[in-house]
Chains A and B, each alone.
Chain A
Amino acid sequence: MNDLIRRYGVTITALMCLLVAFWLVMLVIVPNITLFEQSFRPYLPVVDVGGPKDVYSLGNYAKVFDGSIERSIFGYTYIIPVHVMTFGLTIWYSIVVTVACFALAYPLAFFMAKIANPKSLPTLLLLLFIPLWVSEVLRAFAWWIILAFKGPLNALLLALGTIDKPVRWIVDYDGVVIGLTYTYVLFMLFPIYNAIQSLDTNQIEAADDLGAPWWKIHWRIVLPHAKPGIASGCVMVFMLSAGSLLVPSILGSTTSQWFTQTIDQWFKDALDWNTASAYAFILLLLCTVFVSIALKVFNVKLSDIAK
């Protein structure tokens, strides 16, 4: 702090601190606290707000267990509350998206960091960034067009002879997974790219020289070194996917429901902000718990990721 004052003077330092404090308090803490407080109160007609019925309870949180439906998997039939199922599927498909992003990003990151000619790297990065200049809504719509039953992807595959009749891409969660993977793959790419880039190329060559086949080099040298980058990419992609509303809304099918869409429906359709808030906190809390467990399992410390 003293250093900051010495460098910029009292006025500018105070201004900087105030702006940061404003951002933190007004835009992060206060809205969250408001939602948190709201989530424990019942949804009441305006006249009853603040009245005897307006008491704190966990009722809004308990609503996820309402409305059970029957499902069956591997011939085993079970009853599950519909919102719990939505939540479970959201987590599951977020994992699928994370794995898909990793599978796409790791080879590309390795190529960029260790194989590509450093001269062509800026062009490569530009090509990766150009799609980001277009709004996320438009990109999701673009995929909706690409994946359409009579869209360009089917036309291309038919022309190539890969398939002999058009495929329905936007069915169940398929479209959502494709869209989310596309939207968030760069959040996986860059942390891994940074991690691999910091690996001394001599280590790869040393392993090669000692007789290691390529997969062994990756398994024993590159992957362990890139682990913090991979973890950070996975956390980001998973959290962003589970929290995405736009892509599931545009690329979802009649049988897909993302947990954020459920929250959105409580907010906008039911106009029940209290229950919506409770659901939002459930998502935040459980995702955080899930990520913490995953980090523990893969033996990564949060401080490693921050690097």
Chain B
Amino acid sequence: MSAGIDLENVCCDFGSFRAVDNANVSIEPGEFFSFLGPSGCGKTTILRMISGFIEPTQGAIKIGGRDMRGQRPNQRPTALIFQNLALFPLMPIWENISFGLEVRGVDKKTRRKKAEELLELVDLAGAADKMVSQLSGGQKQRVAIARALAVEPSVMLLDEPLSALDLKLRQHMRAELRTIQKRTGVTFIYITHDQGEALAMSDRVGVMSQGRIQQIAGPRDIYNAPINGFVAGFVGENNIFDGSIGAVADGIAAFDTPYGPLRARVLDKPQGQKLRLYVRPEHTISAAKKGTENSIPVTVSEVSFEGAFISVMTHSADGKVLTAEIRNDGSATVPDIGAKLFASFDAARAALLPDANVKG
């Protein structure tokens, strides 16, 4: 029932603008796959190409191994959930859900029964005869999911469906979507610009920038082992150092910076690209004692309490801002503003990365 999707060298041009540049992805049947990126990165274009509203300029899109070129959206085994849901306001809920069956010529009684089953699946039993305008945001969301599931698609495509909901509901719907996906086993392709959403729900994430897929990996690898500066920056905070690379030994490279020699992991053999050192604030320690390596003298400029953690903003002698995060578990003392400390990090936790993979 669920099908895999292969994007092979897919490009999409709008006039002279290349919206998607040479995308290659292989999505497994039953996988929850997210495309993550800022607006305008081409993720919605990819979704619209898979659903059939746009034809790729080059390359092939295969669903379940079948080339989809020339297939209209109504001929593809996909169901799209729109950002604004696009429910039909003039039909009651059950007709909304069974619309896909209605166009397939299913009789009214069967349709009604199917709609009620699906409403049960999305925890909305009893809403069949309501109108769309009578439902809350979260309920509309569920109706949209039920409507898409009604046609028994092999692939569900979701275009930022949670962006219109408030924070609490969004977090609840994340778990809900995940549950529905596991229960139905349908392949989900999820588009979002919210890295939290992508990391929390997906089996794998494809991070995009300027029409190119930067990295495809599981959520942990995306966060812990980003392959370039764009990915590192998009999924979390970083302290970044400019410098020049020195000798490499056991995957750890020496990195010469204005703040002294630092050491960090290096992924591949550096090929003359400009590299920067990235380290996450939660891997940066602010301590009174100088560490054995990667230690920079700093002054605390601001301490902000975030609840689960405490963010310590510091600056070096020449004004470079470095942020360290302390877990709010009482184990570490919170420094005072103006305190002279050392910001340190473990070489294994820091990485030398190139900038984003972009055109030209």
- Same assembly: yes
Tell me the A residues contacting B by CB distance below 8 Å. Answer: 200, 202-203, 205-213, 216, 220-221, 224-225
A220 x B73 contact (CB < 8 A): no
A221 to B80, CA, bound (A): 17
A213 to B91, CA, bound (A): 18
B106 CB, min distance to chain A CBs, angstroms: 11
Instruction: Given A205-B86, A206-B80, check contact A220 B51 (CB 8 Å).
Output: no
B220 interface hit (Cβ, 8 Å): no
A124 to B358, CA, bound (A): 41
Instruction: Given A209-B80, A210-B79, A212-B103, check contact A203 B86 (CB 8 Å).
Output: yes
B104 interface hit (Cβ, 8 Å): yes
B309 interface hit (Cβ, 8 Å): no
Q: Which among A205, A210, A220 has the greatest number of chain B C-beta atoms within 10 A? A: A210
B74 x A209 contact (CB < 8 A): yes
A-chain residues with CB within 8 Å of residue B88 when the two chains form the complex = 203, 206-207, 220-221
B151 interface hit (Cβ, 8 Å): yes
Q: How large is the interface on B (under 10, 10 to 19, 20 to 34, 35 or more residues)?
A: 20 to 34
A213 x B86 contact (CB < 8 A): no
- Interface of A (DSSP majority class): helix
A-chain residues with CB within 8 Å of residue B79 when the two chains form the complex = 209-210
Known: A210-B100, A211-B75. 5 other contacts (CB 8 A): A202-B84, A203-B88, A206-B82, A211-B103, A220-B102
Q: B68-90 vs A: 1/0 string, CB under 8 Å?
A: 00001111001110111011101
B275 CB, min distance to chain A CBs, angstroms: 44
Least CB separation from B157: chain A residue: A209
B-chain residues with CB within 8 Å of residue A216 when the two chains form the complex = 103
Least CB separation from A206: chain B residue: B86
Least CB separation from B77: chain A residue: A211
Tell me the B residues contacting A by CB distance below 8 Å. Answer: 51-53, 72-75, 78-80, 82-84, 86-88, 90-91, 99-100, 102-104, 147-148, 151
The 8 closest A-B CB pairs, nearest first, are A202-B86, A210-B100, A206-B86, A212-B103, A211-B74, A202-B82, A209-B73, A209-B80
B-chain residues with CB within 8 Å of residue A202 when the two chains form the complex = 82-84, 86
A200 to B100, CA, bound (A): 19
A130 to B280, CA, bound (A): 66
A-chain residues with CB within 8 Å of residue B151 when the two chains form the complex = 210-211
A288 to B183, CA, bound (A): 58
Least CB separation from B53: chain A residue: A205
Question: Within the complex, which residue of A200, A210, A225 is in contact with B103, where a contact is CB–CB below 8 Å?
Answer: A210
A209 x B78 contact (CB < 8 A): yes
B161 CB, min distance to chain A CBs, angstroms: 12
Between A and B, 8 residue pairs with Cβ closer than 8 Å are A207-B88, A209-B73, A209-B74, A210-B147, A210-B148, A211-B75, A211-B100, A220-B91
A126 to B52, CA, bound (A): 34
A205 x B74 contact (CB < 8 A): no
B-chain residues with CB within 8 Å of residue A200 when the two chains form the complex = 84, 86
B73 x A208 contact (CB < 8 A): yes
A136 to B51, CA, bound (A): 50
A211 x B78 contact (CB < 8 A): no
B80 x A220 contact (CB < 8 A): no
A205 to B90, CA, bound (A): 16
A203 to B89, CA, bound (A): 9
B74 x A208 contact (CB < 8 A): yes
A205 x B82 contact (CB < 8 A): yes
Instruction: Given A212-B74, A225-B90, check contact A207 B82 (CB 8 Å).
Output: no
B246 CB, min distance to chain A CBs, angstroms: 54
A213 x B103 contact (CB < 8 A): yes
A210 x B86 contact (CB < 8 A): no
A216 CB, min distance to chain B CBs, angstroms: 5
B-chain residues with CB within 8 Å of residue A207 when the two chains form the complex = 88, 99, 103
B-chain residues with CB within 8 Å of residue A206 when the two chains form the complex = 80, 82, 86-88
A-chain residues with CB within 8 Å of residue B104 when the two chains form the complex = 211
Q: Which among A211, A220, A225 has the greatest number of chain B C-beta atoms within 10 A? A: A211
